[in-house]
Amino acid sequence: DGGITQSPKYLFRKEGQNVTLSCEQNLNHDAMYWYRQDPGQGLRLIYYSQIVNDFQKGDIAEGYSVSREKKESFPLTVTSAQKNPTAFYLCASSTGVGEKLFFGSGTQLSVL
């Protein structure tokens, strides 16, 4: 079955630690996105990539980094510079600009 796989489902971060969230898609989509979801605040865009080897900052990129070395993969690293990382992180992909997004099932990140 085609889809988007996020892992792990739950992740815990210690103070000063970098952690990486995985996102893989087998839909052959060009565009991929990372959103952060906080209770009562909807979704906010962290980074997006419209094509391999290219990505742009979203609205809340500080403290995060991404790479897009392969079409099917768009990992997100939450660095120690992100002071409030506890949130639900959602990865999505689409065939291109303005098309519908397909979402993964999310990763809940918590700070120990």
Partner 1 sequence: GDSVTQMEGPVTLSEEAFLTINCTYTATGYPSLFWYVQYPGEGLQLLLKATKADDKGSNKGFEATYRKETTSFHLEKGSVQVSDSAVYFCALSERNQGGKLIFGQGTELSVKP
Segment interacting with partner 1, rule: CB under 8 A, options 14-22, 64-72, 73-81, 99-107? 99-107
Q: Is 62 a residue that touches partner 1 (CB under 8 A)?
A: no
Q: Which of 31, 78, 87, 109 binds partner 1 (CB under 8 A)?
A: 31
Of 73, 74, 80, 43, the residue nearest 59 (C-alpha): 43
Count CB-CB contacts under 10 A for residue 68: 19
Count CB-CB contacts under 10 A for residue 89: 22
Q: Is 63 a residue that touches partner 1 (CB under 8 A)?
A: no
Query: In angstroms, what is the minimal distance from the CB of 91 to partner 1?
Result: 8
Q: Answer whether 104's CB lies under 8 Å from 4's CB.
A: yes
Q: Which of 15, 42, 69, 112 binds partner 1 (CB under 8 A)?
A: 42
Number of residues that bind partner 1 (CB under 8 A): 28
One-character DSSP codes across 12-68: EE-TT--EEEEEEE-S--SEEEEEEE-TTS-EEEEEEEEETTEEEE-TT-TTEEE--
Q: Is 78 a residue that touches partner 1 (CB under 8 A)?
A: no
Residues that bind partner 1 (CB under 8 A): 4, 6, 31, 33, 35, 40-45, 48, 50, 56, 58, 90, 92, 94, 96-101, 103-106
